[in-house]
A and B are shown apart, each in its own frame.
Chain A
Amino acid sequence: MSFSADSSTRTATRSGWADRAFGFAGGAAAFLTAGLFGWIVWDLIRLGWPHLSWSFFTGEVEDAGRQGGVGPLLISSVLILVCCLVPAVPLGVGCALWLSECVRRGSLTARLVTGGVDLLASVPSIVFGLFGMVFFCQKLGMGFSILSGGLTLAGMILPILVRTTLTALESLPADLRPAAAALGLTRTTSIVRILLPAAMPGIVVGVTLGIGRALSETAALLFTSGYSVRWPESIHDSGRALSVHIYDLALNVANGGPMASSTALVLLALILIINAAAVMLSERWMRRRYHPEA
């Protein structure tokens, strides 16, 4: 999707009221989109900025969140993220490798796996929450814990990882595989030493997108990682993520608005930075592929 629009269509014959009406409506829609999102960001900055300070990032939650900071929640969020990525990355990358290197495209097994992953992507996050609660918390006895929350999120970001890795593998030069085979390399060597390093930039983009998704998730964590605002001592403790904090302040805490705004501002900034990194990485990678001198 990186090719730029064909410029000849932009200068196509422009005539009549219909053309002007189209242009006006489209321009209005584009302006509306940008304006609305500008509004959201501006509101969050306006309401949230005044409470931001160093102690907001390090302090404990006080008075149900009306006072204090979000220190423990930052730690919990990071731990949840780690518990999510540790299983999700090998699963997603391994699945994509299998789909692209070990089975024929379009074979029954490949279709079943692809279909399963696509369906997984369609499962609503609140349903992931239900599943995580019965499976990880109760069946596997992990209780309301950072570990349960992270594992639940792992399932959620798995499709993103599979998709991006698969795309990266499919866009590698086609003659890499014959080159490896012609030297008598085993499939393992070819995958581990040649294809995986070559696809790494794409995988990094996928992981970055997955991190963004995991950080922004709320519903799947409500009944898995819980609400505790204490400093987590291990991944078996319950820990509240930043996103859950916003939800809790907005829904359950009278006058929680200002602090919720600050938290939302922090979360939004984090996610925008991460996604911007993903966009930049993927753009640079696309450029590199067409001009390999770099």
Chain B
Amino acid sequence: MTSSKSTTLSRSLDRVFRGVLGLLAAVSGGMVLLIVSYLVTGAWPAIEAGRLAAFFTDERWQPGSARDPQFGVVSMLVGSLLVTLLAVGLATPVGVASAVFHRFYAPPVLERWNRRMLELLIGVPAVVFGFWGLMTVVPLIVRLAPETPGQSLLAGGIVLALMILPIVTLTTQAALQAVPRAQLLAAAGLGLGRARTIWAVALPAARGGIGAGVLLSLARAIGETMAVVLVCGNIPQIPDSLFDPIRPVTSTIALEMGYATASHKALLFCAGLVLVLFTAVFVGWHSFRRQMADTGTGGA
């Protein structure tokens, strides 16, 4: 019933199928290379013309100016970093505190529903956050500081913080869940109170997971466009106060790509390349660590 011919056939089919899967995997894994190579191609005119130095030495960003073109990107990089740090600084304490509350204080039902809510909120579009910030947060800031335009570093920080809050909370919650029960029991056995158990046992044990979550949200925040472009005011400058407008790198690309030509365009690609390098360092490190953990000692 089983001719050897049919087995050879199904074997070669098998090889073809695995080849196809391998091809799909190669495309998936190699796509990031394709992206980087096209970014480099796009940025090449600027790199070739030696404009990269101007990137960091020019004071201002006025690439369109005919008389005195300037390509200083430092103010925008600083803007990106500041708004990201502000957001992470706002979101981390709130997220960690909220996760601790749900893990150690709230009844399990509340924890479950809170997790569902956060899982939903992770999907809220960035543009919706940005739009809501424009409609609500910016006017509030104007009321708080009437002399300012409202669109500012602070507005961007708040909106971005809201956006990454669910990520920070969920990863912290998962990290706290993963703390071995035995450790908590040991703490209880030593008569430690709840506060001390959290502070001295649970949070230190979950530190790695919480750190990874913060790192991921940092990468997410620095690459975010839509949440910041609507609320930051988009003036490329190094801010003196929280209420000054800024312009992150991402916003610049979104705002200028539509009309940029020639060398201006190439510079925007350079900016994109810088962004990718930034986030790749964060995430690449995280991925590397996870793979190490996966293939390492196994067992436990």
Complex contact flag A–B (Cβ < 8 Å) = yes
Report which A residues bind B (CB closer than 8 A). Answer: 1, 3-10, 12-16, 18-19, 21-23, 25-30, 32-34, 36-37, 39-40, 43-44, 47, 90-92, 94-95, 97-99, 101-102, 105-106, 111-131, 133-135, 139, 155, 158, 162, 186-189, 191-192, 209, 212-213, 215-219, 222-223, 243, 246-247, 250-251, 257, 260-261, 264, 267-268, 271-272, 274-276, 279
Using known A-B contacts A34-B117, A133-B257, A187-B17, determine if residue A95 contacts B276 with beta carbons closer than 8 Å: no
Jot down 28 A-B pairs with beta carbons below 8 A, ordered by A.
Answer: A5-B108, A6-B181, A9-B197, A10-B107, A12-B104, A12-B197, A29-B95, A33-B94, A94-B21, A95-B21, A95-B27, A98-B21, A112-B29, A122-B276, A122-B282, A123-B279, A124-B224, A124-B272, A126-B225, A128-B35, A131-B39, A162-B28, A216-B126, A247-B130, A251-B229, A267-B128, A275-B122, A279-B116
| Cβ A10 vs Cβ B105 within 8 A | yes
Interface residues of B in 103-124 (CB under 8 A from A): 103-108, 111-112, 114, 116-124
Across-interface contacts of B238 in A (CB, < 8 A): none
Residue of A nearest to B107 (CB): A10
| Cβ B28 vs Cβ A124 within 8 A | no
| Cβ A119 vs Cβ B283 within 8 A | yes
Is B165 located at the chain interface by the 8 A CB criterion? yes
| Cβ A121 vs Cβ B124 within 8 A | no
User: Other CB < 8 Å A-B pairs besides A119-B283, A131-B34, 18 of them?
Assistant: A9-B104, A12-B104, A22-B194, A33-B95, A33-B118, A43-B135, A95-B24, A116-B28, A116-B29, A120-B28, A121-B283, A124-B275, A128-B35, A134-B42, A188-B10, A192-B17, A216-B124, A223-B258
Using known A-B contacts A9-B197, A16-B193, A33-B165, determine if residue A114 contacts B29 with beta carbons closer than 8 Å: yes
Using known A-B contacts A12-B194, A36-B162, A95-B28, determine if residue A127 contacts B128 with beta carbons closer than 8 Å: no
| Cβ B131 vs Cβ A264 within 8 A | yes
Q: Which of A19, A99, A120 contacts B195 (CB 8 A)?
A: A19
Is B41 located at the chain interface by the 8 A CB criterion? yes
A188 to B132, CA, bound (A): 50
| Cβ A126 vs Cβ B128 within 8 A | no
Is B207 located at the chain interface by the 8 A CB criterion? no
Across-interface contacts of B253 in A (CB, < 8 A): 126, 129-130
For A16, A121, A122, the residue with the greatest tally of chain B CB atoms inside 10 Å of its CB is A122
Is B102 located at the chain interface by the 8 A CB criterion? yes
Across-interface contacts of B181 in A (CB, < 8 A): 6
A261 to B131, CA, bound (A): 8
| Cβ A12 vs Cβ B193 within 8 A | yes
Contact flags B10-22 to A (C-beta < 8 A → 1, else 0) = 1101100110111
Across-interface contacts of B208 in A (CB, < 8 A): none
Across-interface contacts of A33 in B (CB, < 8 A): 94-95, 98, 118, 165, 169
| Cβ A126 vs Cβ B254 within 8 A | yes
Stretch of B45-53, B59-67, B141-149, B284-292 contacting A (4+ beta carbons < 8 Å) = B284-292
Contact flags B252-280 to A (C-beta < 8 A → 1, else 0) = 01100110000000001100100110011
Q: Which of B29, B104, B130, B223 contacts A126 (CB 8 A)?
A: B223
Across-interface contacts of A6 in B (CB, < 8 A): 181, 184
| Cβ A126 vs Cβ B272 within 8 A | yes
* B101 vs chain A, min Cβ distance (A): 3
Q: Which 4 residue pairs are nearest across A and B when measured between Cβ atoms?
A: A124-B223, A26-B101, A94-B24, A216-B125
| Cβ A29 vs Cβ B101 within 8 A | yes
| Cβ B188 vs Cβ A12 within 8 A | yes
A274 to B296, CA, bound (A): 37
| A-B contacts, CB under 8 A, total | 337
Across-interface contacts of A122 in B (CB, < 8 A): 219, 223, 276, 279-280, 282-284
Using known A-B contacts A94-B20, A114-B287, determine if residue A186 contacts B10 with beta carbons closer than 8 Å: yes
* B163 vs chain A, min Cβ distance (A): 11
* B262 vs chain A, min Cβ distance (A): 14
Using known A-B contacts A30-B106, A275-B119, A279-B120, determine if residue A1 contacts B177 with beta carbons closer than 8 Å: yes
Across-interface contacts of A111 in B (CB, < 8 A): 291
* B55 vs chain A, min Cβ distance (A): 17
Is B54 located at the chain interface by the 8 A CB criterion? no
Is B174 located at the chain interface by the 8 A CB criterion? yes
